[in-house]
Amino acid sequence: MMESLYSPDTKTHDESRQGEAYALPVDASLQYKKHFYIESYGCAMNFADTEVVASILQSSGFGATKNVEDADLIFINTCSIREKAELSVRKRLTEFRSLKRAKPGTLVGVLGCMAERLKAKFLEEEKLVDMVVGPDAYRTLPGLIEEAGTGQKAVNVLLSRDETYGDIAPIRLNSNGVTAFVSIMRGCNNMCAFCVVPFTRGRERSRDANSILNECEELFNTGYREVTLLGQNVDSYYWNDEQNNRQVTFAMLLEKVALISPLLRVRFSTSHPKDITDEVLFTIAKYENICNYIHLPVQSGSSRILQLMNRTYTREWYIAKVNRIREILPDCGLSTDMITGFCTETEEDHQQSLSLMEYCKYDLAYMYFYSERPGTLAERRYKDDIPEPIKKRRLQEMVDLYRGHSLQSMQKEVGKTFKVLIEGVSKKSDNDLYGRNDQNKVIVFAKGDLKKGDYVMVKVESCTAGTLLGKAAP
Ligand code: SAM
Ligand code: SF4
Ligand code: F3S
């Protein structure tokens, strides 16, 4: 039984690229002090953080290696969102033990959300770990490496109210050279009862709009053609531009990024149903290069459960938002996150989640069964009272329902022609290319004379459950 379902082609969600190791552009002419290997788990924001970490390490004289056996420093950027995510990290750490034994002096550092959640306790639980570094402490990594090099354990898990790493140019890792993530904010002020993120990432803070625009412009000038603006709750982005005496909202930021060039596609994730505004929807409608795709996690279709989850909206409010999106953006792709088996969830609540999915007919859904997280509101207030087999059975029912919707969503595109941004060569055949349309659907088509980074009109001829298959229009 699967715990979650995700499209292998999207890179915007937690655990979608679990455990990916990175290849960096290594400058062979430089003499490096030490070599580091880094592996990342969790959401797109964690992957974006790894690119910041790589930048900090490289500018301090450390060189990257893709082979963990060659590394003097092994880093693992971790996720705490569900128990399963933490178990994968623990398992990986046991594999590092033998590497450390084979090469004494190798240092192991734990970064990210698990480091923040467990703090120094990590060192007691996992004896091979030398450094524990929280998401707001990456600037101190060079000092911590030095400290750990003397045989001491090094820990920095201080959370900050204003760190955004806005001035650090991330090193694009394993990049296709066409699409990139750009963090626009950090942390989260919402206290969803099930969620560990506010505890591992701290208070919400927005990044200087000018530094975001500079990064996007730089990406465009070096050949990138799509940016995805990242935050746990992008609609609450808010930057006080003191120099020009004005405030920048998310809708304004979207517009500014869209104006960099009509050839630069703009995506964003994640939107919270309570915060997404008409202004944002009208901005999407106004600019052809802002993609018609919204990830609007609902979590449950039962207003009673939504209240226990502290999501601050009801089923009716959510449906009204979806209706509004479809009114202003009739072709908009829509996706969601769902949790089954949250505390006290009855069969009737579960049926309401299914009926909401039936109403919304999501193009993409990420579905999970509830995993109690230490320290969260739900852990402190409620009993995790739904037995795991029931959580999993409900999840399977949800996955089955969703599969029908996603297939319908793909089938309805057959015969249509879409503008596609080419991202690279198809995994299945060197003779084919792949890219995505405005609504985030993956399309595969014959290569011809086309190359990645180009836009092309593609007519869809058939589909599978996850991919559209087409032909480039002459
Ligand atoms: N900020 C986003 C939002 O508000 O929807 C996403 C946060 S989280 C990184 C991604 C998803 O993980 C959530 O939307 C939720 O469905 C799921 N999730 C979070 N905590 C969970 C838990 N304790 N058990 C199961 N799923 C969880
Ligand atoms: Fe977690 Fe809720 Fe914040 Fe999303 S909005 S990160 S689910 S607390
Ligand atoms: Fe992301 Fe996991 Fe942390 S989903 S914010 S890496 S808990």
**Residue to mutate (ligand 2; options 232, 300, 337, 342; most atoms within 8 A of CB):** 232
Give the Å distances, CA to CA, from 248 to 161, 239, 242, 260, 420: 19, 5, 10, 16, 30
- For helices 278-286 and 250-258, give the axis angle rounded to 10 degrees: 10
pLDDT of residue 22: 57
DSSP letter for each residue of 305-333: HHHHTT-S--HHHHHHHHHHHHHH-TT-E
| Closest C-alpha to ligand 1, atom 25 | 370
DSSP summary character for residue 208: P
* Distance separating the N- and C-terminal Cα atoms of the chain: 45
Q: Which of 116, 194, 195, 235 to mutate to test the pocket of ligand 1 (most atoms within 8 A of CB)?
A: 195
Q: How far is the CA of 81 from the centre of ligand 3 (A)?
A: 6
Ligand showing the shortest atom-to-Cα distance for residue 391: 1
The ligand minimizing its distance to the Cα of 194 is 1
Topology (CATH level 3) of domain 179-411: pyruvate-formate lyase- activating enzyme (3.80.30)
* Atom 1, ligand 3: residue with shortest CA distance: 43
Q: Checking DSSP bridges between strand 34-40 and strand 333-340, what pairing results, if any?
A: unpaired
Class of residue 28 by CB neighbours under 10 A (exposed 0-12, middle 13-18, buried 19+): exposed
Task: Please write the tens of the pLDDT for every residue from 332-363.
Answer: 999 999 999 999 999 999 999 999 999 999 99
Intervals of CATH 2.40.50.140 along the chain: 417-472
437 lines ligand 3 (CB under 6 A): no
Residues β-bridged to residue 182: 229
Q: Which of 200, 203, 269, 337 most suits a substitution to test ligand 3, by most atoms within 8 Å of the C-beta?
A: 200
Q: Which atom of ligand 3 is nearest to the CA of 201?
A: 5
Residues of the chain with CATH 3.80.30.20: 179-411
- The answer to whether residues 138 and 111 touch, using CB atoms and an 8 Å cutoff, is yes
Mutate to test the pocket of ligand 1, among 268, 337, 377, 386 (most ligand atoms within 8 A of CB): 337
Ligand nearest to the CA of 115: 3
**What is the 46 CA–ligand 1 centroid distance (Å)?**
14
pLDDT of residue 19: 57
What pLDDT is recorded for position 9? 28
What residues contact residue 258 under an 8 Å CB cut-off, 6+ apart? 264, 266, 283, 287, 289, 290
Say how far apart CA 113 and CA 108 lie, in whole Å.
16
Which residues of the chain does CATH 3.40.50.12160 include?
2-156
Instruction: For the chain, 474 residues long, give each residue's pLDDT as a single digit of tens.
Output: 222 222 222 233 344 445 555 555 555 555 777 999 999 999 999 999 999 999 999 999 999 888 999 999 999 999 999 999 999 999 999 999 999 999 999 999 999 999 999 999 999 999 999 999 999 999 999 999 999 999 999 999 999 999 999 999 999 988 899 999 999 999 999 999 999 999 999 999 999 999 999 999 999 999 999 999 999 999 999 999 888 889 999 999 999 999 999 999 999 999 999 999 999 999 999 999 999 999 999 999 999 999 999 999 999 999 999 999 999 999 999 999 999 999 999 999 999 999 999 999 999 999 999 999 999 999 999 999 999 999 999 999 999 999 999 999 999 999 999 999 999 999 999 999 999 999 999 999 999 999 999 999 999 999 999 999 999 987
**Regarding beta strands 131-133 and 154-156, do their DSSP bridges make them parallel or antiparallel, or are they unpaired?**
parallel
What is the pTM (predicted TM-score) of this model?
Answer: 0.94
Measured CA to CA, the distance from residue 313 to residue 149 in angstroms comes to 50
CATH number of the domain located at residue range(s) 2-156 in this protein: 3.40.50.12160
Ligand sitting nearest the alpha carbon of 376: 1
> Which overall architecture, per CATH, does domain 417-472 show?
Beta Barrel (2.40)
Q: For residue 272, which atom of ligand 1 is closest to its CA?
A: 4
Beta-bridge mates of residue 179: 226
Cα–ligand 1 centroid distance for 450 (angstroms): 38
